[in-house]
């Protein structure tokens, strides 16, 4: 067979493949559907539990069974994603209305993960069964083939309320993400009813019912006025504070008690909060803390901070808001799949989408119910009519040779071949005109149906069927009747599952914290070759002087109220407050300077570290790889910005030495090819930090300055090519000359 090669542009193939992949992740994995508020993995898990019969009133089943069945039938993307979705749907501290009833260890608010799926059990919550799955047998939603076309799965579940708002959603797709906060079920239902009564209602009007997010962890939303804009655009930031109470103990003790936390703090961030509070004390940001205890339990959060008697409690609480995650931000991006595409939706759009879906679902539901009632009506009328002429029908049955002959007589009045006792019976039989379904029902009817009471029950059932048909036709023909049905269902859900609001919505002023200035004192700065920095007191340094000097690259004394200056090879100066550097024990690890400054260890290299106090007292000499030199007054580096350019560099050049001048007299430049040039520091001009400088040494085309040394009143000996070289013996030269090549 001849090969057929299709030539195409590589960029076009990549573009199309990426778009296909992105849309697959967006639609089929990461984002929820605006109609039922569920991601595909959640929807498939709930539907599989429904199919397995794991209802709220049935025994729990192993999570591993649920996960395995879901993965095998509907979601072939790995068991971990299915189990994680199942776990989240059970956690009442993440979901306003848990959709799954979990039995066993499904994790906790402090960040402990769920047990393995083989140890936990689950079943559907009652609200899930009643509000998401109860009408699936009434043809209310479309079904589609699963991944291997061996099963059918619903494209969406017929949720009876806006689950997207009630439980919220979080997900990261390709190039977009969703982050929707949970809301109070009762408030959402009230807002839905208000929209159904007046579809012209504004977002502001809906906010009379939905006050704002209602987080399962409680807390206080402090930017109430900004919520209007957030619900209008679907995007914004919600500021949340934990709930703090002050308790008085015996002997005048004061306790700051945190009983509710911001929603973003759930999980490992509680432990981080405790560490941050402890760090405030260790770093002497506050001296008011006596003890911290985490007394949280299944009953709720309780973090207790004991303060000194004379502590300023209000100032301390404001410090917690400013310095820890006790005040946090929830980023809102109400992105969901609507009409098959991702869309950032306002509050009203989400409610409209769900209400339109409710009308569609209920229209299909009552059409299905109406059709079933009409079928029942047809059969019931046939049976009632048959009871009125039962003697004739018995005569037809006794005189027929087979079922087909009897049926033909009942439906079409054919009497050929049937033996009748009376001629009148044959005439009456020829006039019969039952329908196919009526004839089948008559042929299958049991004799006990002829009892008077049974016949009366059949007539009553027929009257009930007629009443149902009238009611269903009325609902389908009048939108206001349909609306009333939907609102009645919403009222039932609200009555059964509505809960009081947990989150308080207020406008609160920004926390103002007056930081007490620490008492000025001398400390010793230590930084090792890996970039970990810390400060210790002078007495501790004196006791460990030998180890401190040998284990650290930079060691010097500075003020705890001052700044540290970090010069890099890219000509940048990064300043760090000494107060931001951990102060503690000699054997403490310290903190990477990347974490407390703008220094980037992947792009830059530290050339020198010194205190700003020393810079203010002395001058600084710069030397670069291309042999550019200059002296700068140290006062120029007393800047307020965290990062500034410390010098100007030519293309391809970089700083190799920054030295604070004290009693140095001469400078020695050593090139990579072995040339040494020694000359007086007086030959280097003093310039501004924005200047390039002057050339210090003539270099060959491939040569560059490798090392810089200084001589002073002391003898300076260096190691060069594994030999000792005394710099004082080098012949002094002039700046901008080639120097002397040293051969050892």
Q: Which residues pair with 726 in a beta bridge?
A: 717
Q: Which residues pair with 330 in a beta bridge?
A: 238
Beta carbons within 10 angstroms of residue 432's beta carbon? 20
In angstroms, the CA 547 to CA 495 distance is: 71
309, 313, 315, 320 alpha-carbon torsion, rounded to 10°: 110
Tokens standing for residue 170: 């979080």
Residue 366 appears among annotated catalytic residues: no
Beta carbons within 10 angstroms of residue 203's beta carbon? 19
Query: What's the Cα-to-Cα distance from 362 to each of 133, 311, 372, 376, 433, rounded to whole Å?
Result: 14, 62, 15, 21, 36
Which among 371, 420, 386 has a CA at the least distance from the CA of 400? 420
In angstroms, the CA 92 to CA 236 distance is: 25
658 phi and psi angles, rounded to 5 deg: -130, 120
CA atoms within 13 A on the CB side of 384: 14
Which among 653, 611, 605 has a CA at the least distance from the CA of 634? 611
596 and 579 Cβ atoms separated by less than 8 Å: no
- Quick one: CA dihedral 718, 719, 721, 725, positive or negative? positive
In angstroms, the CA 44 to CA 41 distance is: 5
Place of tokens 């299709």: 6
464 Cβ neighbours under 8 A, 6+ residues apart: none
In angstroms, the CA 205 to CA 191 distance is: 9
Tokens standing for residue 160: 């009876």
For residue 262, give the DSSP letter: -
Which residue out of 60, 74, 83, 119 is catalytically annotated?
119
Strands 220-221, 504-505: parallel, antiparallel or unpaired by DSSP? parallel
User: What own/partner pairs with CB < 8 Å and gap ≥ 24 does 384-387 have?
Assistant: 384/455, 384/458, 384/459, 384/462, 385/434, 385/438, 386/434, 386/438, 386/442, 386/445, 387/449, 387/450, 387/455, 387/458
Which among 219, 217, 158, 167 has a CA at the least distance from the CA of 188? 167
494 phi and psi angles, rounded to 5 deg: -60, -45
SS3 content of the chain, % helix, strand, coil (to 5): 40, 25, 35
- Kindly list the catalytic residues: 119
């Amino acid at each position: 067979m001849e090969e057929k090669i299709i030539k195409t542009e590589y960029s076009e193939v990549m573009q199309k493949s990426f778009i296909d992949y992105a849309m697959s992740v967006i639609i089929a994995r990461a984002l929820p559907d605006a109609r039922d508020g569920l991601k595909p993995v959640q929807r498939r898990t709930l539907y599989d539990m429904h199919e397995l019969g794991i209802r709220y009133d049935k025994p729990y089943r192993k999570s591993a069974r649920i996960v395995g069945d879901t993965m095998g039938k509907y979601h072939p993307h790995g068991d971990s994603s299915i189990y994680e979705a199942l776990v989240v749907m059970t956690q009442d501290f993440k979901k306003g209305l848990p959709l799954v009833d979990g039995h066993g260890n499904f994790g906790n608010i402090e960040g402990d993960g769920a047990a393995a799926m083989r140890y936990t059990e689950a079943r559907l919550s009652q609200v899930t069964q009643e509000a998401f799955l109860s009408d699936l047998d009434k043809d209310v939603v479309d079904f589609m083939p699963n991944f291997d076309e061996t099963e059918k799965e619903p494209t969406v579940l017929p949720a009876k309320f806006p689950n997207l708002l009630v439980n919220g959603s979080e997900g990261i797709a390709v190039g977009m993400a969703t982050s929707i906060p949970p809301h109070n079920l009762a408030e959402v239902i009230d807002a839905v009813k208000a929209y159904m009564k007046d579809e012209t209602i504004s977002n502001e009007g809906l906010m009379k019912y939905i006050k704002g997010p209602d987080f399962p962890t409680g807390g206080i939303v402090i930017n109430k006025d900004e919520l209007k804009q957030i619900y209008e655009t679907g995007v914004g930031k919600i500021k949340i504070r934990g709930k703090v109470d002050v308790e008085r103990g015996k002997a005048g003790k004061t306790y700051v008690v945190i009983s509710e936390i911001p929603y973003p703090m759930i999980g490992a961030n509680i432990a981080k909060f405790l560490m941050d509070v402890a760090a405030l004390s260790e770093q002497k940001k506050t001296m008011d803390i006596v003890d911290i205890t985490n007394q949280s339990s299944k009953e709720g959060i309780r973090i207790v901070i004991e303060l000194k008697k004379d502590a300023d409690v209000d100032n301390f609480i404001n410090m917690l808001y400013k310095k820890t995650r006790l005040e946090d931000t929830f980023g809102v991006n109400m992105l969901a799949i609507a009409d098959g595409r991702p869309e950032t939706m306002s509050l009203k759009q989400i409610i409209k989408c769900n209400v339109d879906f409710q009308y569609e679902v209920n229209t299909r539901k009552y059409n299905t119910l109406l059709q079933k009632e009409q079928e029942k009506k047809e059969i019931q009328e046939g049976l009632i009519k048959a009871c009125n002429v039962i003697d004739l029908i018995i005569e037809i049955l006794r005189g027929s040779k087979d079922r087909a002959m009897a049926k033909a007589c009942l439906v079409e009045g054919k009497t050929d071949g049937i033996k009748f006792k009376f001629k009148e019976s044959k005439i009456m039989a020829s006039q019969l005109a039952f329908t196919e379904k009526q004839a089948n029902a008559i042929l299958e009817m049991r004799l006990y149906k002829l009892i008077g009471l049974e016949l009366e029950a059949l007539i009553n059932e027929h009257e009930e069927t007629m009443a149902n048909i009238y009611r269903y036709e009325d609902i389908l023909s009048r939108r206001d009747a349909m609306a009333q049905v939907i609102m009645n269902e919403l009222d039932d859900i609200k009555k059964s599952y509505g809960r009081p609001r947990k989150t308080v919505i207020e406008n609160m002023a920004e926390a103002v914290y007056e930081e007490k200035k620490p008492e000025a004192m001398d400390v010793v700065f230590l930084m090792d070759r890996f970039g970990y920095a810390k400060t210790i007191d002078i007495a501790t340094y004196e006791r460990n002087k030998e180890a401190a000097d040998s284990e650290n690259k930079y060691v010097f004394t500075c003020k705890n109220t001052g700044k540290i200056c970090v010069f890099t090879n890219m000509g940048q100066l990064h300043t760090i407050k000494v107060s931001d550097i951990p102060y503690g024990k000699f054997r403490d690890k310290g903190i990477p300077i990347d974490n407390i400054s703008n220094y980037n260890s992947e792009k830059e290299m530290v050339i020198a570290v010194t205190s700003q106090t020393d810079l203010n007292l002395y001058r600084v000499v710069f030397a670069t790889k291309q042999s550019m030199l200059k002296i700068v007054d140290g006062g120029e580096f007393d800047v307020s910005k965290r990062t500034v350019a410390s010098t100007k560099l030519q293309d391809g050049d970089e700083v190799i030495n920054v030295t604070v001048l004290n009693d140095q007299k001469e400078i020695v430049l050593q090139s990579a090819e072995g040339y040494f040039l020694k000359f007086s520091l007086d030959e280097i001009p003093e310039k501004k930090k924005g200047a390039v400088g002057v050339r210090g040494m003539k270099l060959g085309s491939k040569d560059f300055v490798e090392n810089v040394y200084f001589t002073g009143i002391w003898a300076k000996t260096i190691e060069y090519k594994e030999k000792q070289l005394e710099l004082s013996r080098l012949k002094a030269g002039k700046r901008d000359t080639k120097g002397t090549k040293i051969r050892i």
